[in-house]
Amino acid sequence: MSTLLILTLAGSIMTLLCFAFSRTVGCSARTTRIWLTVAALLYLIPLGGLKSYYTDVLEKVKRQEWYSEGVQWDESVDFLEVQSQEAAYQSTSLKLNTLVYLVWVAVAVGFLICSLVRYCRRRSVILRNCEPEEDDGQLAELDRLRREARIHRRVRILYCHDVSPISMGVFRPVIILPRRMRGNVPVTLLRHELAHIRNLDVPMNLVLTMVKAIHWFNPAAYLLKKEFAKVCEILCDDEAVRGLGPSGNFEYAELLVSELRHSIPDSAWVHSLSKDTKEVQERIMNIMNRRKLGRIRKCIGAAALTVSLFACSLTALAYEDVRTVSSEEEALVTSVSMRTADEVNVFEGEVLLSEGVLDEYDAIAILYDEQFIDEDGNIYEVDTEVQPYGSCNHELKSGTMTRHIPFADGHCEVEYYRADWCVHCGDVWVHEHVKTVIYDVCPHK
C-alpha cells in the first residue's frame, strides 16, 4: 500500500501544480495537456528506480561536509521478511495492510467494471440505431480532412437519432452525428472530431478512467480527468477554427450553443462535442478571443513543467528497500535472530537460511567492536573518539562498518552498515543499515 500512496502523492502534486499554474500564470492548452498527461503517468508508474541515483547524489554531497564527531550513524530502517517452508509469520501491521489492500482492490475493480458495463451498454444502444454515411461527396470530404489531419486509420461516419456529435472507439474510430445533420455536416465539426482521434483523446480517456479506479480515494484524480477533458476540447476547438476569420469563429460558437441541448454524459472511450453550459461558455470565450502566447510565456510554461516533474520525481526517495530471506531445500540451520534497525524483532530462534543469505557480510571476521572493512577485505579498527582534521580533504574508501555489541549473559549482536572511511583522518560516514545478526553465544574474540 505504501507504493500506492507514493504514486497518488506524485500524481496529486503534478495535478495541483498544473491547476494552480494554469489558473494564475497561464500557459498554452498544448502545454497543459502534456502536463496533465505526465500527471496521469505519475499516478500509474512507480519511480522507485530513481532512488538509487538520488541516494548516490546525496551521499556525494554529504562527503563534502565537515563533521564534528568521528562516526556518523544513519540508521535508516530496512524491512526484513522471513519465510520458512513450514510456517508463515505475519505481524499485526501486515494483517491491517492486507485488509486495507482488499478494500482498495474491491472498490477499484468495481469502479472499472461499472465503467466498462456503462460504456458497452451505451455503445450497443448507439450502434444498434445508427446508419452509415452513404453520400460519396461527404465521404470524400471526410477522407480529405482525414489526410489533412494526418490520420492513417480508417474513420467512419454514422448517423444516430437525437445525439450530440461524438467520437468513440480506440482501434476503429467512428464519428457519430445526429440525423438532423445528414447532408449538411459542418466542416468545423468534422475537424473537431478528427482532432480528438488524431490526439488519441479516446485512449487517454481510458487511461484516466484507470487512474480514477486505482486512486478512487483521491479527489485530485477526479480533478485530473475533468481538467484533461476541458483542455482536449479547447485544443480541438482551435483545430476546428484554424484558418477561419471572425465570421467563421462566430458560426462555430453558434454550433456549440445549439448542440448544448443534445449533450450526453461523458464516458470512458467517448468524447462528446458539448457538455455543461459553463464549460461551453469558456470555450466560446477562448474561440472569440484567440491569441497566441509569446515565446517568453511558452518558455515559462515549459520551465514550470520541468521543475514540477523534478519535484514529483523526488518522491522516489520514499520507496522502501525490502530484503527477503527465503528457505531452500538445501537450507542451513543457524541459531540466530534477525531484526530491523528500529530494534523490533521479526523472528527469533532457529531460522532456516539458504546459502544465498550467507553473503559476503557473513564472511567478515569480527576483530574489533568497531571496525571498517574496505572492498579489498582489509580490516581497520575504528576509533569512535577520533576528531577529524578540519583541513582534511577526505580521501574516502567504500566498504562495510560493523558494530559488535557483547552482553553480560553471553550473547552478542553484530550490526552491518554500508559506510565510507577516510584514509587520512579516520572519519567514518555510516549510511544504509544492512542487517543485524544476534548470536545466542558470542563466538567472537
- Cα–Cα distance for residue pair 340/352, rounded to 1 Å: 18
Q: What pLDDT does 113 receive?
A: 92
Q: Which domain holds residue 196?
A: 98-290
Closest by CA to 346, choosing from 91, 95, 2, is: 91
Q: What pLDDT does 333 receive?
A: 38
The answer on 177 and 81 residing in a single domain is no
Span between the terminal Cα atoms of the chain, in Å: 44
The answer on 81 and 122 residing in a single domain is no
The answer on 268 and 155 residing in a single domain is yes
The answer on 382 and 269 residing in a single domain is no
**431 located within any domain:** yes
Q: Which residues of the chain have pLDDT under 50?
A: 63-86, 322-358, 389
User: 431: number of CA atoms within 13 Å, CB side?
Assistant: 16
**269 located within any domain:** yes
Q: Mark which of 290, 316, 348 sits at the end of a domain.
A: 290
User: 255: number of CA atoms within 13 Å, CB side?
Assistant: 22
CB burial readout 37-70, b (16+ within 10 A) else e = bbbbebbeeebbeebeeebeeebeeeeeeeeeeb
The answer on 263 and 331 residing in a single domain is no
The answer on 219 and 85 residing in a single domain is no
**297 located within any domain:** no
**36 located within any domain:** no
In which residue are the cell numbers 484558418 written? 243
**13 located within any domain:** no
Whether the model clears a pTM of 0.85, i.e. scores above it, the answer is no
- Cα–Cα distance for residue pair 18/8, rounded to 1 Å: 15
Supply the DSSP string of 29-52, one letter for each residue. HHHHHHHHHHHHHHHHS--GGGHH
The answer on 344 and 235 residing in a single domain is no
Q: How many CB atoms sit inside 10 A of residue 108's CB?
A: 18
The answer on 256 and 349 residing in a single domain is no
The answer on 107 and 255 residing in a single domain is yes
- Cα–Cα distance for residue pair 106/86, rounded to 1 Å: 31
**44 located within any domain:** no
Q: φ, ψ for residue 253 (rounded to 5)?
A: -60, -40
Give the pLDDT confidence of 264-278 residue by residue, as tens digits. Answer: 555 555 555 555 677
Q: What pLDDT does 208 receive?
A: 92
**119 located within any domain:** yes
- Cα–Cα distance for residue pair 285/289, rounded to 1 Å: 6
- Cα–Cα distance for residue pair 365/339, rounded to 1 Å: 21
- Cα–Cα distance for residue pair 119/163, rounded to 1 Å: 15
Q: Which three cell numbers stand for residue 327?
A: 528457505
In which residue are the cell numbers 562495510 written? 400
The answer on 119 and 217 residing in a single domain is yes
Sign of the CA dihedral with 36 first, then 38, 44, and 47 last = negative
**209 located within any domain:** yes
429 secondary structure, DSSP code: E
Sequence-ordered list of residues with C-beta below 8 angstroms from that of 171, at least 6 positions apart, any chain = 153
- Cα–Cα distance for residue pair 381/397, rounded to 1 Å: 14
- Total domains in the chain come to 2
Q: What pLDDT does 335 receive?
A: 41
